[in-house]
Amino acid sequence: MAVTVTENAATQIARQLERRGRGVGLRLSVKQAGCSGYAYVVDYAEEITADDSVFEQHGVKIVVKTTDLAYLDGVEVDYAREGLNDAFRFHNPKATASCGCGESFAV
């Protein structure tokens, strides 16, 4: 099982952690929400616990609760600018559908 991060996303994660001054990485999880069923939740990882899986690439860590891997296995975390907006983007091979706004997905 794996979660990957692009170089653009890793640069942004490192920048945000440095600006914040603390944290061990980016925490990625899912919650039931949206019109398609699940939504990605992005937060700072303050610590790594026994029930976390850690994926490290390009010098940053992505921390995922082991129970969320069923939904996130194979996800690629990217960071992109589109016009005036910039945000993390998720490419999930397990997603069978997503809503029009891209905020939620189904597996």
The two three-digit tokens of residue 13, written as one number: 């994660």
Rounded Cα–Cα distance for residues 13 and 31 (Å): 21
Residue extents of the structural domains in the chain? 4-106
Rounded Cα–Cα distance for residues 85 and 76 (Å): 19
Question: What is the model's pLDDT at position 66?
Answer: 93
**pLDDT tens by residue, the chain, 107 residues:** 699 999 999 999 999 999 999 999 999 999 887 666 788 899 999 999 999 999 999 999 999 999 999 889 999 999 988 878 888 888 888 777 666 555 566 66
Rounded Cα–Cα distance for residues 35 and 38 (Å): 8
Spatial strand order of the sheet with 104-106 comes to 52-57, 60-65, 25-33, 37-45, 104-106, 97-98
Question: What is the model's pLDDT at position 12?
Answer: 95
- Architecture per CATH, domain 4-106, reads as Sandwich (2.60)
Question: What is the model's pLDDT at position 105?
Answer: 64
| Predicted structure pTM score | 0.85
